[in-house]
Structure 1
Amino acid sequence: MNVLLLDDEPLEIEQLEYLLQCEFPSWNLFKASDASQAHFIHLNNEIDLAFLDINLPGKSGLEFGEELRQSNKDIEIIMVTACQDFSYAQQSIRIGVVDYLTKPVIESELLKILSKYKEHQYSHNYSTLIQCSLKAIHEKYAEKISLSDIANKVHANPTYLSRKFHEEVGLSFSEYLIQYRIHMAKRFLITTPKWTIADVAENSGFSSQNYFSTLFRKIEGVSPTEFREKERSK
């Protein structure tokens, strides 16, 4: 699933990117700050879903959305705006916008709108075997799971699953599992401030706080505590 994020406010686009990555880690996200950048991305990638800010420098999100619709009738468009203007709503309906988000984006509202896309998060041109494997990982990441456990759940030979997983996903099973656990840990660090780092590590599927903290710093460049403090200060 290729998703375009068009917004001229860096913090807004960063927040949207973070929320989408946590919920849909297999989606490809493309970011643009104006219609010109977005047009270039669209020319070089087949975009399935677009989040478009209405008020942009130069061409508005609505104008760009109309161009998108003319070139790709199957693309789905969600408008993101701080404006409550009926004329914008009328224009949005005219170009076939599927939904509307107001700023600042609230996670629960975003996830409600995206609930219908859940079925797409495992597709990404993956085979049925890999789709089922990813779904199992996303459901059981907090548990002590192995490739053999997932292979057993999807009724596949572990060696065959390992090879297919790397071929299609581009990562080994263990690499993907770590990546997803770090995604969820980042989310927990922000959304559950009362949890200790040990709590975050345990609920993200890591065997120890020390291992989690070492791995987190290696991947993110900061410790879990530093990451949490940085996010709080935004």
Structure 2
Amino acid sequence: MGNGDYDLTYSDFNPTVFFASKMRVTKRTAYHAHQDFTELTYILSGTSKYRIDDIYYDVKAGDMIVCNPGVFHQNMLLDGEEPLVEFCTGFTDFQFKNMPENTIQLSNQGHIVHLSSEAKRETSRLCYDMLAENEAGQVGKYFMLKAQLIQMLMLLMREVIEAPKVTQKGCNFETYSKSYAVKRIINYLMENYEHKISLDQIAHNMYLSPVYISKIFKEETGESPINYLIKIRLEKAKEILSEREGGSIKNIANEIGYDDVYHFSKLFKKYFGISPQNYRKSLIAQRTTESQ
């Protein structure tokens, strides 16, 4: 078969996104249906039982639940059971090849997709990207959400549509996923170094656990996120000292996120082998010599 046999969408594939949200479910939900949009629910953590059109399904982290318009569904989590964390997104105005409009048809006529390991990792990343985009509220937010949703739908279709497997060499998905997360952490540190930052805060903003962040960050960079932050701050302090002859050392310390000027000076000397005061003096002396 040629590639056209696996073309999943029409040329005008352009879904309308209604929402993207994360929920912590602690008890049984109402039995309900959505008449005007399709809903995808991705289980981020936990296990539960779902009732969908009066059929009961066991679900766990990494499962995708597909509820087309008019499909009744209900989380059957009982009081006292471990909470379930879900990502949900609702959308309409789409059509896949050989499927009814605004409908995702699974081959077994069911509603649950047990994603592969690679698809789980990528889908989880997209979920958190959509949540972060929603929260940031930057220009073009809607179009970013649409683009991320389209990626999620394509991943889902690749899981449910059988196609020839193509072996690709030199592609390590896990490494890519880690690199992507670490790159986002570094960007966050670069943009917020002047504020108070803790590992827990980084984890909260990344929707990842502090332990996991520390692990992958050290694997990718060779050091902890906090040590990396210290280096960013100290390099910035050195830059300020180089550009600005006036101003107190305390003000510079405050400018890069340190309230304690003694602690800042100690870190600076440990990193550069010279105190900030003496570094400034050496720069002034060097400039005086050069001007003579």
Which category of TM-score, normalised to the shorter sequence, fits these structures? 0.3 to 0.5
Question: Larger helix proportion, structure 1 or 2?
Answer: 1
Q: TM-score, normalised by structure 1?
A: 0.45
Normalised to the residue count of structure 2, the TM-score between the two structures is 0.36
- From the two aligned structures, give the one with the greater strand fraction: 2
